[in-house]
Structure 1
Amino acid sequence: MCGISGLLKFSGDARANIQKMNDRMIHRGPDDDGIYVSENSEVALGHRRLSIVDLSKNGAQPMVSHSGNLVMVYNGEIYNNKDVKKKLLDDGFAAAGDFRGSSDTEVLLEAIEHYGMKEALSMCKGMFGIAVYDKRNETVTLARDRVGEKPLYYGKVAGAFAFASDLGCLRVVDGFDNAINTDVLDIYFVEGYIPAPYTIYKGINKLEAGTFMTVSIKDLGTQTTTYWSMKETAKRGQENPFTGSSEEAANELERLLKESIKGQMVADVPVGAFLSAGIDSSTTVALMQSLEPGKVKTFTIGMEDKAYNEAVYAAEIAKHLGTEHTELYITEKDAKAVIPGLAHMFAEPFADSSQIPTYLVSKMTRDHVTVSLSGDGGDELFCGYTSYESISRIWGKMHGVPYPVRKVASSVVLNSPLKNKDIYRIKGTLLGAEGPVDIHRMEHETDPLTKRIALKRGTIPYKYTELPNGFLEEVNHQCMLMDMLVYHPDDILVKVDRTAMAVSLETRVPMLDRDVIEFAWSLPIQYLRDDKVGKKVLRDVLYRYVPKEMMERPKKGFSIPIEKWLLDSDLRDWAEGLLNKEKIRQQGILDPEVVEKIWTDFTERGIYRIQIWYILMFQQWYEEEFL
């Protein structure tokens, strides 16, 4: 796990600016750094290294291919690099003695050299953000992994083409003057994050998952290619469903997860795992322990507030599995101390409040290991969210009524005094849904105040609109796909990557293995959900290792009592300082009247909207970057 940076056709001191970019993301790679500048200075590449595999200088970057034609900087891990290396040897592209070291970086670079970018990426299983300079063709190609585990930002800065693993790296480039992209604020204040390909800055984008972009050094023109599609993988899986029994499905899932976990446990540094009391992390740890001759190191944090504490249950699971378990009980003071650093950590507004406990568990884990496996992905791939069941139920009641009739009824309700009552406004909004995709989206935007926080109305459509209603036949599958396309890569994976890398901890997610994903999409819904109980097939695997009764508890989630804390004196003073009406008016970005109403509704009437945290995170980011 590392960080990469680059400048193409930069008119200033390229080497000095790459050094500044590298310094900005030292947390992503504290072990080493490197810079490459081409002879004509048109291409400058930077790298920060967190040494995981091949700790020697043989794994250092930027790395030049054996032919001398390609130069690569790379952030991530290729878990099947031994298989790729064997293919290179079998195909006669290299001899065993040709390899300088044992790093996956060298294997990946040679695979790109000999098979081309698309074929090389298609054969690799892993997480990555990559930049490859091709001297002969005068191009630089950027690539991102299938699901979006690793970040990669790019765009025009001071007339040059710039890219980096950390958005903050682009901001430190001399001459950076990219304005705030107010078009994305409508989406941000509904979702709490800014989805790819957009960022908070105009002219700067996120490279989308499963794609690579080739940039011409001559004119900085770009061409983007999709080498893997979650959308098409889901469609293909549903068109070719798994035909075995539910027990056979659990057998196959267990085999695939073990294969994935085995590959992701490989490292030349200590490896452990996050363990909550949930199905996903418990399954990951159970399978890790079944593969590990010694004791797997597991980590969890707890809270004194019982409504938010799962550490007791996690400890029971750890004891049953026989792991070497470490837990840390955090106080309100510990959690609140993280808040001032969030803006720098994420480099753009990001407001999933579980970012705080995720950072704290990462910080504690880093004291013991350098790599930690995570259970993320289980809810989206195996139908775990309760919202899926409710959307399916709502659509089941609605779909028999023709859309034109529902649309008229929706308009009548939303243009009548009934709209002033939450229950009727919500029902009226949902009546206007064309299908499950719309219901999923509308769940987040039934409050009219949400759409009025930003002064300028955005012009960017929701990414959900790229998925037509009925793309997948089954409603739950449709919702799962929406989350795998947007919420998972742009919220969950962002949260885990940024908080863990803030303390130089590499996180790996076995459930996001290509083969696991492709198998999951082939499963019929009855293998995933049984009435209101989701993740059925995953539970079937877990219950082979952990007693069912140990897992049948209400899920508390990885959350904190942010609503309660914001009423405490210290955090309330911090919040009210950021929400100062005159300050917001002078900024000219948010509507001060709307912000004031949202805050007073909370403090004087007890109406808490999640947008309070979204506004606070935006304001904190703004002050960090502009004041």
Structure 2
Amino acid sequence: MCGVAGFIDRALPSGQREQVALRMATALAHRGPDDAGTWFDPDAGVALVHRRLAIVDLSAAGHQPMASHTGRYVVSFNGEIYNHLELREQLAAAGAAPVWRGHSDTETLLAAIEHWGLRQTLTKSIGMFAIAVWDRTERRLWLARDRFGEKPLYYGWTSSATRPVFLFASELKALRAYPGFDNAVCRRAVTQFLRFSVIPAPRSIHRGIFKLEPSCLLRIDGPPPATAPEEPLRPGERYQSISIERWWSLGEVVARASRDPIRDEQEAVSMLEASLSEAVKAQSLADVPLGAFLSGGVDSSAIAAMMQRQASQPVRTFTVGFEEVAYDESRHARAVAEHLGTQHTELFVSAAEARAVIPSLPSMYDEPFADSSQIPTYLVCRAARQHVTVALSGDAGDEVFGGYNRYIWGPRIWNRLSWMPYQARQALGGVIARVPVSAWNAVGRSANAVLPGAHGVAHVGHKMHKLASKLKHARSLDDLYLGLVSEWEDPASLVQSADPLEEPRSTLHDPLPEAGVNEPELRMMYRDSMTYLPDDILCKVDRAAMATSLETRVPYLDPRVVELAWRLPLGMRIREQQGKWALRQLLYRHVPPALIERPKSGFGIPVGEWIRGPLRPWAESLLSTDRLKADAMFRPEPIRQRWKEHVSGVRDHTSSIWTVLMFQAWITENRCHP
């Protein structure tokens, strides 16, 4: 795990290049505390920057930026290529293996690019990565991102001393380190943030700066354009010397898998176990201490089980416990760890300790980010980093195997309510919302007491209030899904703008695969994999882990596991109002169901209660009418109304209020002009 950065600026005096490059590298020191490097092509004005967290080949042979054995290609590479030893064997068989200087995957990557070219190398590579490659012969810059967006990569333009400069980096803080960076806030991106609690690719919080989308390859032939495009480039588009293409497509995988389904259930579970075991084995390769996160849920327990089965000694596992009993799952993790025989570490955190993380969030996430599970995620990463440098996680299990409650309850609720006239559904939403959260929670506890295992729902009150607000706007099941992943229904109306402001269409509106998503549950899973997974889940884990210099790996996103999962019929993923059926059957071969089966709760903390209580002065200072008017970003009236309802307990507006708080905290920290 590392950090990459660079720029193209032919006008920058040669005496300043090293200084500027080192400033960018310093901004990424947390991503790579072990080493730093810079490389320049003076004639083209190209600079490559690298920070290294040494994981494979800890010697100087792994130093970056690294040149290929012929000197044609120079790379700054963030990530891991898990099958790089297999690629070395393929290169040797083809007579294309150089005299290896070390055993790093970066050197393998360069040799593969020399032999196969970049695009074919990417398709052969199994891993997570963000890559910058400079072709010294063709004078061409390539930027590439892994299939699902595990590793981040920003690019764009800023003006320094009135001249345009093209920049790229793993995080925005490295771009801000460039002299003269002063890009304004993108108000259209703010509308998307209010809806999704994150800023989805390809936009960023800054005008003129964009995120490269997952599985995309950006190419610059010759000098970059002098100015940024008005709208971010999408795959298949060109802007002067810049073009973007998608080098891998989940949509094609889904369509192909639908034509080759697995019918036999036992065969499916056995194939899944073999595939996931191979992914875990590949991702357990490291020259530093390695462990795993363990919450005691299905996803992380299956990963820990695969790791322990392959290990010759107890695997290190980590969990965080909280003093709030309703949010503490440490006892479940402990039981699974004892059964598997892992070396388990628990870190118990008080509410005050968790709240103490909040002031660091704007810097940690670089742009507004409002998934409140970012707090416990950071805490478990910090705990693990005291013992290991690499941790495997159970992230993406929900998207790949159908685990979110919305996949189960969304279609079920809609099937029962779709007959009602639109106005009647609106009225029903109002009735549901008038029942206090505490009353709904009491109903939920009673229901969970009689429902078997994981068929219950945790934190019912918050979820019922969210459902109530979404029913008011849903005219179809797809509308209901968009509502369930939205916090503010009409975010453009909240953002102040001198000109009429329109919320941009997100990648949620991209075309669906030509086959394989006929059922609504599968459409939701596909859309979550393309949007929520990279923009929220993977971003959350990357920033939290990198803030502690910890590398995280996600076995469920091995492309072989994903392709196999999409060959499973819907009934092998969701069955009898329970998600992840096939993955559960695999896990039950190693862990008794009694240790696993319970209502899904997520990785949450009582943020809504905190901002009513101990955090209320902080929240009130950011949400006051005077403060909102002074910042000139939001219309105060609707925000103040929701805040009033939330504080009184009439409604639970935790998620939507948290988005505004995180934006206000971010803009205060970064002092960006609107």
Matched, 1:459 2:460: no
What percentage of aligned pairs have identical amino acids?
42
Q: CA deviation at 1:34?
A: 0.2
Q: Specify the alignment match of 1:506 in structure 2.
A: 551
2-structure distance, mates of 1:225, 1:317: 44
CA distances 1:291-339 after superposition (whole Å, capped 9, x unpaired):
0011100000101111001101111110110000000100011101110
Q: Give the counterpart of 1:346 among 352, 365, 372.
A: 365
1-structure distance, mates of 2:493, 2:316: 47
CA distances 1:97-154 after superposition (whole Å, capped 9, x unpaired):
x010000000001111211111000000000000000011111100000011000000
**DSSP 3-state at the match of 2:141:** strand
1:484 and 1:446, CA in 2 relative to 1: closer, same or farther beyond 3 A?
closer
Matched, 1:626 2:671: yes
Matched, 1:335 2:354: yes
CA distances 1:319-363 after superposition (whole Å, capped 9, x unpaired):
110000000100011101110000001110000000000000000
1:205 and 1:315, CA in 2 relative to 1: closer, same or farther beyond 3 A?
same
Q: Specify the alignment match of 2:282 in structure 1.
A: 263
Q: Specify the alignment match of 2:9 in structure 1.
A: 9
2-structure distance, mates of 1:183, 1:420: 30
1:520 and 1:425, CA in 2 relative to 1: closer, same or farther beyond 3 A?
closer
CA distances 1:261-316 after superposition (whole Å, capped 9, x unpaired):
00110100000000001000000000100000111000001011110011011111
Q: CA deviation at 1:440?
A: 0.9
1:445 and 1:216, CA in 2 relative to 1: closer, same or farther beyond 3 A?
same
Contact 1:9 1:217 in 2 (8 A): no
1:469 and 1:397, CA in 2 relative to 1: closer, same or farther beyond 3 A?
farther
Q: Specify the alignment match of 1:85 in structure 2.
A: 88
Q: CA deviation at 1:14?
A: 3.0
Q: Specify the alignment match of 1:195 in structure 2.
A: 200
2-structure distance, mates of 1:449, 1:593: 14
Q: Specify the alignment match of 2:585 in structure 1.
A: 540
1:602 and 1:459, CA in 2 relative to 1: closer, same or farther beyond 3 A?
closer
Q: Specify the alignment match of 2:229 in structure 1.
A: none
TM-score, with structure 1 as normaliser? 0.94
1:543 and 1:563, CA in 2 relative to 1: closer, same or farther beyond 3 A?
same
1:391 and 1:139, CA in 2 relative to 1: closer, same or farther beyond 3 A?
same
Contact 1:182 1:458 in 2 (8 A): no
How many residues matched?
A: 611
Q: Specify the alignment match of 2:251 in structure 1.
A: 231
Contact 1:437 1:464 in 2 (8 A): no
Q: CA deviation at 1:397?
A: 5.1
Q: Specify the alignment match of 1:296 in structure 2.
A: 315
Contact 2:494 2:635 in 1 (8 A): yes
2-structure distance, mates of 1:166, 1:529: 37
Q: Give the counterpart of 2:596 among 548, 551, 560.
A: 551
**DSSP 3-state at the match of 2:36:** strand
Structure 1: tracts of 5 or more residues without a match: none
Q: Superposed, which structure 2 residues align to 1:485-504 within 5 Å?
A: 485-504=530-549
Q: CA deviation at 1:419?
A: 8.6
Q: Specify the alignment match of 1:478 in structure 2.
A: 523
Q: Specify the alignment match of 1:127 in structure 2.
A: 128
**DSSP 3-state at the match of 1:429:** coil
Q: Superposed, which structure 2 residues align to 1:171-570 within 5 Å?
A: 171-220=176-225, 221-243=241-263, 245-396=264-415, 410=422, 426-430=470-474, 432-433=475-476, 436-445=477-486, 452-456=493-497, 457-468=501-512, 472-569=517-614
Contact 1:186 1:451 in 2 (8 A): yes
1-structure distance, mates of 2:224, 2:379: 45
**DSSP 3-state at the match of 2:4:** strand
1-structure distance, mates of 2:249, 2:130: 17
2-structure distance, mates of 1:606, 1:8: 54
2-structure distance, mates of 1:34, 1:499: 24
1-structure distance, mates of 2:629, 2:390: 45
1:339 and 1:447, CA in 2 relative to 1: closer, same or farther beyond 3 A?
closer
Q: Specify the alignment match of 1:109 in structure 2.
A: 110
**DSSP 3-state at the match of 2:11:** coil
2-structure distance, mates of 1:219, 1:265: 40
Q: Specify the alignment match of 2:628 in structure 1.
A: 584
**DSSP 3-state at the match of 2:37:** strand
1:16 and 1:481, CA in 2 relative to 1: closer, same or farther beyond 3 A?
same
1:530 and 1:418, CA in 2 relative to 1: closer, same or farther beyond 3 A?
closer
Contact 1:189 1:450 in 2 (8 A): yes
1-structure distance, mates of 2:71, 2:166: 24
Higher alpha-carbon deviation: 420-429 or 350-359:
420-429
Q: CA deviation at 1:476?
A: 1.3
Q: Superposed, which structure 2 residues align to 1:12-161 within 5 Å?
A: 12=12, 13-40=16-43, 42-95=45-98, 98-158=99-159, 159-161=164-166
Q: CA deviation at 1:234?
A: 1.4
CA distances 1:436-463 after superposition (whole Å, capped 9, x unpaired):
4333102345865755332244331132
2-structure distance, mates of 1:492, 1:366: 20
Contact 2:362 2:666 in 1 (8 A): yes
Contact 1:28 1:501 in 2 (8 A): yes
2-structure distance, mates of 1:533, 1:413: 29
**DSSP 3-state at the match of 1:133:** strand
Contact 1:184 1:458 in 2 (8 A): no
1:188 and 1:295, CA in 2 relative to 1: closer, same or farther beyond 3 A?
same
Contact 1:425 1:446 in 2 (8 A): no
Contact 1:437 1:468 in 2 (8 A): no
1-structure distance, mates of 2:198, 2:122: 28
1-structure distance, mates of 2:293, 2:256: 32
Q: Residue type of the partner of 2:178?
A: V
2-structure distance, mates of 1:461, 1:481: 17
**DSSP 3-state at the match of 2:321:** strand
2-structure distance, mates of 1:125, 1:445: 33
2-structure distance, mates of 1:469, 1:122: 20
Higher alpha-carbon deviation: 145-154 or 421-430:
421-430
Contact 2:50 2:76 in 1 (8 A): yes
**DSSP 3-state at the match of 1:33:** strand
2-structure distance, mates of 1:428, 1:583: 31
Q: Residue type of the partner of 1:290?
A: R
Q: Residue type of the partner of 1:349?
A: P
Structure 2: tracts of 5 or more residues without a match: 226-240, 434-467
2-structure distance, mates of 1:447, 1:277: 33
Higher alpha-carbon deviation: 305-314 or 448-457:
448-457
Q: CA deviation at 1:605?
A: 4.4
1-structure distance, mates of 2:174, 2:123: 29
1:211 and 1:445, CA in 2 relative to 1: closer, same or farther beyond 3 A?
closer
Q: Residue type of the partner of 1:602?
A: H
2-structure distance, mates of 1:418, 1:479: 24
Q: CA deviation at 1:581?
A: 1.6
Contact 2:281 2:310 in 1 (8 A): yes
Q: CA deviation at 1:606?
A: 3.7
Q: CA deviation at 1:560?
A: 0.5
Contact 1:349 1:618 in 2 (8 A): yes
Contact 1:470 1:478 in 2 (8 A): no
Contact 1:129 1:151 in 2 (8 A): yes
